[in-house]
Amino acid sequence: MLLSKRLSCIAALIDDQAQTLIDIGYDHGHLLHWAAQQEFQCIVGIEVTDHFADRYRTLYGDDVELRTGDGLGPIKDFDKSDCVVIAGLGEERIRQILDAGKALLENIDQIIVCPSSRDFKLHAFMRTQGWYADQEELIDENQRLYCVSSFRTGRESCADETILSIAPRIYECDREQFDIYKQQLQERRLI
């Protein structure tokens, strides 16, 4: 399975030791099917509506487990999830999903997000839950920069609220890229 640049970046950020991978909002299932060809022991896709599962099974068979439901709810029976991916949804929706499922966050080691649109409140929300972005990447797809953030439990070190809201690890690791991203967000009147 050849992944898009954005999904390849997400795949590259998944912890090497991860055994359980959850993809919330898998849609076309590209990440799930890629994962099925790797060494994960447990791969679960979650979608709000049923027909995505039928489409996936028609295309790829039964190589992963598919559950229908809202956000983290369908994995409430899991004692531990190594990595949860939530990509291609708006940042506000991602935050709502994590907020609604916050009792389950302690069972998760890593959360990778790539919002399709941003409201710049996710990092601050994650900080309130005791999480911080340990790695971030910017991906240029369709002439737009997408921010991919990997979160882990721990203390957020960025004290500047504006930088925190945009992409604190990009700011620290690649100032030039951060400035290009910020300028793009300003041109699109998002910040």
Q: How far is the CB of 136 from ligand SAM (least distance, A)?
A: 16
The DSSP 8-state label assigned to residue 104 in this structure reads G
Which C-beta is closer to ligand SAM: that of 122 or that of 164? 122
Note whether 32 binds ligand SAM by CB under 6 A.
Answer: no
Subset of 95-154 contacting ligand SAM (CB under 6 A): 97
What does each C-alpha distance from 84 to 103, 106, 148 come to in angstroms?
15, 12, 13
Q: In which residue are the tokens 């890593």 written?
A: 110
Q: How far is the CB of 152 from ligand SAM (least distance, A)?
A: 20
Q: How far is the CB of 175 from ligand SAM (least distance, A)?
A: 27
CA separation for the pair 122, 75 (Å, rounded): 21
Which C-beta is closer to ligand SAM: that of 70 or that of 92? 70
Which C-beta is closer to ligand SAM: that of 114 or that of 158? 114
Note whether 91 binds ligand SAM by CB under 6 A.
Answer: no
Q: In which residue are the tokens 């899991």 written?
A: 78
**Burial environment of residue 167 by CB neighbours within 10 A (0 to 12, 13 to 18, 19 or more):** buried
Q: How far is the CB of 125 from ligand SAM (least distance, A)?
A: 16
Which C-beta is closer to ligand SAM: that of 2 or that of 159? 2
Half-sphere exposure of 97 (CA within 13 A, CB side): 26
Tokens standing for 99?
Answer: 């907020």
Binds ligand SAM (CB under 6 A): choice among 13, 18, 21, 24: 24
Which C-beta is closer to ligand SAM: that of 55 or that of 152? 55
Tokens standing for 4?
Answer: 């898009």
Per-residue x/- track, 43-62, ligand SAM (CB under 6 A)? ---xxx--------------
Neighbours of 60 (CB within 10 A): 15
Note whether 88 binds ligand SAM by CB under 6 A.
Answer: yes
Torsions phi, psi for 161 (to 5 deg): -65, -30
CA separation for the pair 156, 154 (Å, rounded): 7
Which C-beta is closer to ligand SAM: that of 48 or that of 190? 48
Q: Which residues bind to ligand SAM, rule: CB under 6 A?
A: 24-27, 46-48, 70-71, 87-89, 93, 97
